[in-house]
Structure 1
Amino acid sequence: MLEKILLGTYTRGESKGVYSAQLDTENKKLTDLTLAAKETSPTYLALSKAKNLYSVTTVDDKGGVAAYDSSFHYLNAVTEEGAPLCYVAVDNDRQLVYGANYHKGEVNVYQILADGSLKASDAIYHDEPTGPHENQDHAHAHYANLTPDKRLAVCDLGTDRVYTYDISDEGKLTEIAEFEAPAGTGPRHLVFHPNGKYAYLFGELDSTVTVLSYNASTGKFTQKNKISTIPKDYHDFNGGAAIRITSDGKFLYVSNRGHNSITVFAVKDNGENLETVQNISTEGDFPRDFNLDPTEQFIVCGHQKSDHLSLFERNDQTGKLKLINSDFYAPECVCVLFD
């Protein structure tokens, strides 16, 4: 079976935009790298149910989101002065797109119009006190996506907080709760357990996963415990990157930039606890993103600095990964999205 993959990239070197590739699951190999859409540093991607593509974009000195139809024909872009976004997500029910702007500490909301193009709807800035790390000079929104009960959760690396917002049908945000992580955590991304009761917060700055309980009545997160994603004897630079969970909720995966590895956790006690089961090299430099394929038998990992993808096979009983190959060229890849 051939599975289509979309790759978001920086375009500082050889990359020209958004690429597509194929995962041949029968022969366990990656094939057919193709430029799908010429774009400036499309560093994060999201697909709607209609198969429209929404991409981070930079236009001159403005940043925002670009919209493409299912054939990668350009629809429009909504931009504003300043740095580009770092994250985008689609709300199919409300026909909205959410964006997080790291440099501006801003959360953006866009309405999806009938033809798939976008219109700006709302913007929220964070101004809470920041954390102690040198990278926490001001607010740095890094993630904005839906909770299981259709609220918006936002991770801010600069303020060490996770915010919860109610969302109107028109895309207006109202903050209802905030969780303050331990100082210096640097919240980057989070994923929810399929049961909706727990979430897993990846700290970019301290290389940890914090297990959070989630109260659907109030939108509040509460810390349960915390676990490191890198070996105790590793003391060089590391920055937490991507985090994924299997659909059965049994295994959690994170990528480590610097240590250049993926750490595998077994999820215990209905989601409340994590147990480290493997730390495996990604065989590349700066694994900023990876993803499970639709069958969850494979993981594809992109490397920002070494310009290639690594393909892993996954044991669904143990969660452990086995490297298949690490030589598929993909320039400046920082986002891996299965179509």
Structure 2
Amino acid sequence: MSCNISRRAFASTLVAAAGAPALSRRAMADAPAKPRIICYIGGYTQHGPPGGAGNGQGISVFEMNPDTSSLSPLMTYVDIASPSFLVLSADNRHLYALSEINDFNANQEGCVTAFSVNRSSGELTKLNVVRSGGAVPAHLSIHASGKYVMVANYMGGTVGILPIHPDGSLGDPTDVVHNTGPRMPDRASDNPPGNFAISDHSSAHVHMVASDPSGRFVLACDAGLDRVYVWTLDTHAGRLVPAKTPFIAMTPGSAPRHFAFNEKGTMIYILGEQDSKVVAATFNPQTGEIVPQQTVSTVTPHFRGSTLAAGILLSPQGRYLYVSNRLGDSLASFHVNDDGTLNLVDEIWMHADYGRSMMFDPSGNFLFCANQRSDSVTSFKVNAQTGVLDFTWNFTPVGSPTTFAFMNTI
């Protein structure tokens, strides 16, 4: 099936969200200019990766009630296939969305779409679409310099570096790095008891790429090779250069999926998908060296059965860390100790199925979870003092959701 967004005119295609009044451009322009919270949600559409087709329509746009966390639908951008990860620029002027597909071009690559953002209304305008540098991209981020979008291509096993032009549009990759290494086991030896779930270790599978807080280093989790790679980025040439220690080997079969840094960039928390473990490690901002200090489970000692960890998120104050567990349908909360190590505080029911990405709203008062298989977004009230999550009982219907981006309007 060919990608319906390649090489076509770049006018945005909108549909009014189900159950919401149509919102014309003029009506949006005439709306009161008071600040609002806009939430963008992406996920899998009918045109997705092999075996991954979903129920979504595109990028769904909502307004969030800051008191209750409820989401009111505004519109949906349908002219995009499986936008399973989104990211906003630091100034909220641009949004970048990958398409988790493998047929954008004859080389079986995925693609990334650049949008400009109306910061008063949240409306998106498509700028252009470029290849991602590999098949089935799963994650993207903006380098700390603001000059490049970095893409993790899962099936391609590559990291693509895409230059950002002055108008916010994207150029073709300036560098594509392909990881290689020995075949690793599909399951880790430190699995939770009774875990039949496996992670694909047939080849390199880059699952996340992002810079450290200083922007000096770029790191990538390779869930197929069980490694975390470290590079520097030549911001003039747009090329990755291996660090002195180019990668750290994780537990065989653990499938490192995502990571999170503390604010100072001195601690990194690496999430293993297959064994549902978090590795707390020190990070040297001068050399890029990663030294593991602790490994903790994202499920309680009572848990038995299959689970796969998905998302990892630090609280805005850095005092608590949260992990979503698919299959087990739980959210784990950890207290972050003064030395950066973790204590499991609680593991609670997600109230939905197959939770993927999590994100805080701009205030940090609510944590949102995208629940892919139950076609819903749920939210939890966050106790900033204790880290406890209280379910709000707000369910927002969204087809096969996987990702969020929030912004305050001006």
TM-score category (smaller protein): over 0.9
Q: Please state which structure has a larger fraction of its residues in strand.
A: 1
Moved more, 153-162 or 42-51: 42-51
Please give the secondary structure, in 2, of the residue aligned with 1:5: strand
Can you give the 5+ residue segments of structure 2 that lack an aligned partner in the other structure? 1-34, 47-53, 118-122, 187-197
For residue 73 of structure 1, the aligned residue among 110, 117, 125 is 125
Tell me the amino acid that sits aligned with residue 183 of structure 2: T
Superposition pairs of residues 200-279 of structure 1, within 5 angstroms = 200-271=269-340, 273-279=341-347
Give the corresponding residue for 1:44. 85
Q: Give yes or no for the alignment of 1:14 onto 2:51.
A: no
Please give the secondary structure, in 2, of the residue aligned with 1:316: coil
Does the 8 Å contact 2:133/2:158 carry over to 1? no
How far apart in 1 are the matches of 2:71 and 2:65?
Answer: 6
Q: Give yes or no for the alignment of 1:86 onto 2:133.
A: no
Please give the secondary structure, in 1, of the residue aligned with 2:302: coil
For residue 142 of structure 1, the aligned residue among 207, 213, 227 is 207
Moved more, 289-298 or 23-32: 23-32
How far apart in 1 are the matches of 2:133 and 2:84?
Answer: 18
Change (3 A) 1:218 1:308: same
Superposition pairs of residues 104-253 of structure 1, within 5 angstroms = 104-119=156-171, 120-133=173-186, 135-150=200-215, 151-169=217-235, 170-176=237-243, 177=245, 178-253=247-322
How far apart in 2 are the matches of 1:205 and 1:130?
Answer: 15
How far apart in 2 are the matches of 1:158 and 1:67?
Answer: 28
Tell me the amino acid that sits aligned with residue 71 of structure 2: L
For residue 148 of structure 2, the aligned residue among 90, 96, 120 is 96
Larger radius of gyration: 2
Q: Give yes or no for the alignment of 1:314 onto 2:382.
A: yes
How far apart in 2 are the matches of 1:139 and 1:37?
Answer: 31
Can you give the 5+ residue segments of structure 1 that lack an aligned partner in the other structure? none
Does the 8 Å contact 2:69/2:394 carry over to 1? no
Q: Percent identity?
A: 29
Does the 8 Å contact 1:130/1:160 carry over to 2? no
Q: Give yes or no for the alignment of 1:290 onto 2:358.
A: yes
Moved more, 134-143 or 199-208: 134-143
Quote the offset at 1:326 in angstroms: 4.0
Moved more, 127-136 or 286-295: 127-136
Change (3 A) 1:282 1:123: same
Does the 8 Å contact 1:200/1:209 carry over to 2? yes
Please give the secondary structure, in 1, of the residue aligned with 2:339: helix
**CA offsets, 1:12-53, max 9 Å, x none?**
243211111122022442222520453100000111134211
Please give the secondary structure, in 2, of the residue aligned with 1:255: strand
Change (3 A) 1:33 1:329: farther
How far apart in 2 are the matches of 1:56 and 1:248?
Answer: 29
**CA offsets, 1:198-249, max 9 Å, x none?**
1100000100000011012211111101000012232322111111101221
How far apart in 2 are the matches of 1:309 and 1:33?
Answer: 16
How far apart in 2 are the matches of 1:259 and 1:249?
Answer: 25
Name the TM-score, length of structure 1 as normaliser: 0.95
How far apart in 2 are the matches of 1:3 and 1:144?
Answer: 27
Quote the offset at 1:167 in angstroms: 0.4
How far apart in 1 are the matches of 2:259 and 2:112?
Answer: 21
How far apart in 2 are the matches of 1:233 and 1:324?
Answer: 26
Quote the offset at 1:76 in angstroms: 1.2
In the TM superposition, structure 1's runs of 4+ consecutive aligned residues that sit over 4 Å from their partners are: none
Tell me the amino acid that sits aligned with residue 252 of structure 1: L
Aligned length: 338
Does the 8 Å contact 2:158/2:206 carry over to 1? yes
Please give the secondary structure, in 2, of the residue aligned with 1:38: coil
How far apart in 2 are the matches of 1:256 and 1:104?
Answer: 25
Q: Give yes or no for the alignment of 1:31 onto 2:72.
A: yes
Please give the secondary structure, in 2, of the residue aligned with 1:196: coil
Please give the secondary structure, in 2, of the residue aligned with 1:100: strand
